[in-house]
Chains A and B, each alone.
Chain A
Amino acid sequence: MDKKKFNISNYFNGKLFIEAFKQVRVVGLTAFICLNALAIFLPVLNYMEMKEEMEHYAYQILFETTTIMLPLVATIFIITPIMYLMLFSFLTKRSGSDFYHSLPVKRTCMFVSFIIAIISWLLIITFSYTLLSIASANICYSKFIIDYTAITNYTINIFISCIAILGIFSIGTALTGTITSNIIFSCGLLVFPRLIINTLTNLLINNSITLTPNSGHFIFDNLINIPYSFLTVLFEGSYNVVSRLVIIEKHSLYTLLLGIIYLIIGMKLFASRPSEASSKSFRNNKIFSVLRLGTGFVLSLLIITTIYPLIYEEQFYDCIMDEKVPLLLVLLAIVLSMFAFEAANKRSIKNGLKAILFTPLIILVDIAIMFCLHGITKNYNNEIIDKKNVDYVYVGDLFSSYLNLTDEYSYDFTSYCNGNIAKTKITDDYIIDYLLNIYNSDRVTNFNAPSYYTFCEVEITFDSTIADKTRYVYLTSNEIMHLGEKLIQNEDIINCFYQFPDSDKSLIACPTSPENSALFYNTLISELKNLPLDILIEEYCSYEYSENYDSSGYIIISTFVNGYPEDFTLNVTSLTPKTYTMLINYSNEEIKDTTIDFLDMTKEDFSIPSINLYCDIYNVLPDGTSDIEYSYNINDIYSQKKETISMVLSLMSDAIKNNYVFDEENIHNDNILICKIYYSYLDTYGSYYIPLSVNSPLLEFIENIPDSDETEEY
């Protein structure tokens, strides 16, 4: 038996590829030049705007993937179909189609060579833009933080989407014969299947208690098809898909697979496409009928989405009557679409009227679908999950809810930690058992009970051998509290609080110089990692910081979580003495001269109204809490004698001039007190920390000021 040998020339022709590459160069080059100009221009513009600030603060830029990639997404999604339609425009002209089909090239080879030519342009445009953006940002900013994984994933996802778009248009071109019909058909192919799936899935999820968007069939995921999801961004303004682009996951693989399948189908259809189909709207009437019925069916989804939720209403008939006008309008739209499509294509009103006869068929399908949906929903609502099939649970926002129920916990560090917790798989037997008991109980009754008005949803995942199946479990406040207390003992959850981002992958805004920020940050997190969890939660997750610990400043960390920028703040307190000392010394060094000048000026004339000055003298106890011993502010000083005030200010100035430097030890030294001076005068302000020994002149003087000096008139 003869075996057919694989011959590359049957699938690719280099010269034809170059020819095709040249044919779309106008679009390709224009996009290439415009986008690369933007890649250079945007960071430069940003740099120019921030130049002044950058001189002062050595400004750092968090290179936000989604913002920088937006021009690329917009351009690439427009030029991909343009390039395709341009290169394959010969299929819409009889002469062109005949010409190309007369050439001694296999149709498959022609298709593949042409597609590769477009893909090459898209590759060049996409990756050059990404690389140039990074390079340009590198040149402009002294330091910038970029999530290379996110930006690479984003670029790959855009590229994958282009392949899917090419696939869709290849099918469209092969089945149609004019540019208009091609665009209509391709858009229909892009939108209709996913729109139908998503609408029905959403109906199912919205009308069932337990189903999640990932209910076990990833194909039902609303964002699984990237090009379609982008269309929803345009029409619905939902940006969920954008966050998906920074990761390579199921949606990338699905879109790639879909694109490849579409391209293979497109290639087969192109190879079998009769040349005489050119300039005819549709290759044959069956394809047109599918499109016409598809349009009618998509419109009829409005009927399902209106009626289906009403099934669960007690007064079904009354509800239907309330919706009769919209329903009649939808019905009219279906009838009109069926008529218009057929009448326009066949240019015959008679045929248009015949097409209306298909409307009852569509309505019957709608009714059948509603029955199916109802059955499926009922089935899911009564589902029982066996524990042996459960692999893990995601607690989502449960921990945040727990913290919220226990105290005013809503600080941004909580949000960061919660992000870590939400993606942690919890395999604890007790927690799984607890959740399964709730899930397998009479959830329909429970769900409608008043106790569920404040609920939190968690996901349980089971049967993950083939594909993950997830279900929501709803919890009452008591259940949340109970689980929260269990979770706080779970090692995986505890670890989530101690996972700090690396300094080289984060932007650290702190009161030290940018050069020292990494050292400062690393010192802080090494100290935080030694703190017990309850202290960490109490002091760093709480909206209101405890006043037990002296805070010398704070540090803002901007980092990427799942490719998205996220900020959180950490206070630098006496709980972390090393960092606390570093910050005080740095701060003192920076404002030493200004503070001395201020104090010297003020001691001569402190009657200037805008002057503000106060000081706290305290010591830090070994557990990090501070104990205020003396506290003075400017009003108290005004109540003192002029000489007393001058003496206090003079002693402060002397103490600063004596160059006392804090070290870690003297923070917790019983014999060293901290004198924190805060002052402001016009644009001058600052906080200066002076370590005072118990026998320092300033402390001795202050201690000996009588409680009520005679008030002087100034």
Chain B
Amino acid sequence: MSGLVAFHLFAVFVGPWAAIREQTSPLAADCRRLVAPYVDALYLGNGYRFFAPEPGPSHLVKYDLTLPGGQTLSGHFPDRAARQPRLLYHRYFMLSETLNTLYTPDKNAPGRAVFDRYVRSYARHLLLAHQAANVRLTLVEHRIAAIEDIQRGKVSLADANLFEELPLGTFSEDDR
């Protein structure tokens, strides 16, 4: 029994220790390999880096749909007005945050394929859900207002200057 407990505790520690590949030492990576199936199966491989290294900007996904009749429909998620209860809002928020986490500008980077699949997955879902002809997706970064600017009354938290857009592409029925 002691052996099982010790093994589990080792896995509990190694999970967050080796959670982020780019920040993991060779020793931590070796330890992770020893317990990888166990850590993955029990969902122990989380970094627990809540608001670390520091709280950053938030991200939204904007979509512009063209419907079969030519009408257009636009929206974004997370949408504070549309998603209740709050937990559901947070699920959509995590969809957009995950897209940003996966994003890398280098199209040949190892993780880029996962990002591309996620973008296509979101696009296909929107196309099917709305029976749309095409959809244009944009990742929007919402920077946090500097505390000095708020003190001086220069900006609000939702000031238009705090938003920056990254076009993700236009996807059509063929991409379904």
The answer to whether A and B assemble together is no
